[in-house]
Amino acid sequence: MRDSRPPGRAAAAPLAPGPEFDLIRGFLAGGSAVRPDVRVGPGDDCAVVAGDGIALSTDMSVEGVHFRREWLSPAEIGWRAAAAALSDLAAVAARPIGILVSLAVPAEEADALAPALMAGCREAVESVGGTLLGGDLTRSPGPVVIDVTVVGEAPNPVLRSGARMGDEVWVTGQLGGAAAFVSAMLAGEEPRRGARERFARPLPRVREARWLAERVGPTAMIDLSDGLAGDAAHIAAASGLAVLLVPELLPVHPAARSRSRPRTVRAALTGGEDYELCLTAPTGAVAPHADAFHAAFGVALTCVGRTGGGDGVWWVDAEGHRTPMELGGWQHFRGEA
Amino acid sequence: MRDSRPPGRAAAAPLAPGPEFDLIRGFLAGGSAVRPDVRVGPGDDCAVVAGDGIALSTDMSVEGVHFRREWLSPAEIGWRAAAAALSDLAAVAARPIGILVSLAVPAEEADALAPALMAGCREAVESVGGTLLGGDLTRSPGPVVIDVTVVGEAPNPVLRSGARMGDEVWVTGQLGGAAAFVSAMLAGEEPRRGARERFARPLPRVREARWLAERVGPTAMIDLSDGLAGDAAHIAAASGLAVLLVPELLPVHPAARSRSRPRTVRAALTGGEDYELCLTAPTGAVAPHADAFHAAFGVALTCVGRTGGGDGVWWVDAEGHRTPMELGGWQHFRGEA
């Protein structure tokens, strides 16, 4: 063990409220003993094991829940499944080593479908410097299922639990684009420009996260898979504080903007699967780097609020008045693609 | 990198012939570059990454393919899925750190089913000294799907590729019991004594493998998931030699024995999902330890043949005459549970 974290670090990190998370809390009840080979246990974006800090996470994509085959090519489905998992490595600022991919596909389509799905996974992991390490292939009696496990090096992982009172809250990129694509498709409308790419080819912010970890030193970080409201609630719960967001500051993807400002804000706040990053850092630590970050990656860094006392996620106005936020995040278990 | 393996070791190990493996070969075509952080790439029981040697493998279980809910309790389904994956850690003689479990379950059953499935997974990993590291939970539009990724420490992994000409071939335990349960259930017959437990509660030979690695030094090892014929073919392909089996020596589970000796042998050879180990070792290296092994684990160690020149898996008689073996192994992709 290279770092000086107390042994209790291996305990499960607190999760935000919600039915999916209630089930997960149940799985972990009566938790496992503290172990020297587990630095970060369940409940963060990745587990981190072994002395060197190996970050691990797994993400399952199910046809009809996370994607529809009418909407995406098999290579896009594979890319998207792998990118969603790789985004968890970004969230702890890990350097990707590779992925393991388990595929279940209908037997009669296997010869055509499995290689295309796998090629998409491989392209995604190779785009961030990792490799295909292994996997499993089985037939499915129905839906295509892809489970991607990511493996990376994270000697100094950035966790959800490190935010401190008075930190600023920042996000990368623009929010709501992927959800705008889903909404348009479900409504039978033509998706607006740029929305399809945000859904079909999300870019895991792996290099961006490592850049930030090296130059800015975020106190906490999470990737935005369920929407900013839901994911910021995990930072709040894990760090034992409140996240206070300023609605006017949210960077909304053009495809998610509407004439109604509340609707626009809601889209940015609850739209899932953007795979951008949300991070906290001491006041003034990020701003000096925002231009260089944009120059390096073509991605904006936007301050969207700060942390404060209490718990949960709130709106805050210029006078510091809080308004409860009752929007919820994207929950795969109840939501639909 | 602590060991002295040549860098080429990270390339994919050759797999035996077969349609499932043809697809997998396709996934790996144009393979990835040799990397210092990948000691063992795809094609063995586990990938092994990072300087310390972290072993990783993933195994997906799909309702209607690998199990039926009428046959097993949810906790048994979870145990079995995790045990199958943990068996891959045994195959490289790794020490388990933990598992990540991705679950897809029908939404209306999630509250009852998911905790029971996960409890079975957790019991299995804790039985071999590992812990639940994380996972994912999603709804399924149909089948229950469990994907288990195993993580272990393997500074000196035992690979499929290390068998040498003239080695003995040994197996642990008795073969064919799990398949006997499946056959009986499919035929609407009462399974014979002991068969159900072999299918419902397979015991990953994790401690047995580490004992063997420490005392015997196997040159190659694999776990028996697809049947001895199919799995020994992987050792043959990866090591560049032939595996020669003596039919009279095969240790057949009592539930798999029939009056027809050829049928009994076939059951032991092609019955999948026993999760015993097959290992090779220099002549005379294992026998002196067989009694101590049995005393320690209550499990037999049986010499079933030897390696020779050529390729593939053959029957061999006392005069050394080879007979082709045209039985095939259990292929999930074509087989049925």
pLDDT tens figures, A83-118: 999 999 999 999 999 999 999 999 999 999 999 999
Closest CA relative to residue B16, chosen from B171, B240, B275? B240
What is the reported pLDDT for A221? 98
A223 is in an annotated binding site: yes
B9 is in an annotated binding site: no
B residues 93..132 contacting A (CB < 8 A): 97-98, 100-104, 107, 110-111, 114-115, 118-119, 122, 126, 131-132
Q: Specify the pairing of strand B312-316 against strand A47-49.
A: unpaired
* d(CA B162, nearest CA chain A) in Å: 19
- A104 and B149 within 8 Å at the Cβ level: the answer is no
- B115 and A141 within 8 Å at the Cβ level: the answer is no
Q: What is the mean pLDDT of residues A47-52?
A: 91
Q: What is the mean pLDDT of residues A271-290?
A: 97
Closest CA relative to residue A96, chosen from A171, A46, A160? A46
Q: What is the mean pLDDT of residues A249-267?
A: 92
What is the reported pLDDT for B334? 39
Q: What is the mean pLDDT of residues A261-274?
A: 89
CA separation for the pair A212, A134 (Å, rounded): 30
Residues paired with B173 in a beta bridge: none
Predicted ipTM of the assembly:
0.91
B61 is in an annotated binding site: no
Which regions of B106-245 does DSSP assign to beta strands (E)? Answer: 131-139, 145-153, 168-172, 220-223, 242-245
In which band, very low, low, confident or very high, does the pLDDT at A31 lie, cut at 50, 70 and 90?
low
List of residues 6+ apart from A246 with CB closer than 8 A: A304, A305, A315, A316, A317
What is the reported pLDDT for B329? 43
CA separation for the pair A250, A279 (Å, rounded): 14
pLDDT by 10s per residue, chain B, length 337: 233 333 333 456 788 888 778 888 887 776 656 789 999 999 899 999 998 899 999 999 999 999 999 999 999 999 999 999 999 999 999 999 999 999 999 999 999 999 999 999 999 999 999 999 999 999 999 999 999 999 999 999 999 999 999 999 999 999 999 999 999 999 999 999 999 999 999 999 999 999 999 999 999 999 999 999 999 999 999 999 999 999 999 999 999 999 988 889 988 899 899 999 999 999 999 999 999 999 999 999 999 999 999 999 999 998 999 998 765 444 444 333 3
CA separation for the pair B78, B15 (Å, rounded): 28
H/E element holding A136?
strand A131-139
- A38 and B63 within 8 Å at the Cβ level: the answer is no
**What percent of chain A stands above pLDDT 90?**
79
Q: Report the CATH superfamily, name and number, of domain B160-324.
A: PurM-like C-terminal domain (3.90.650.10)
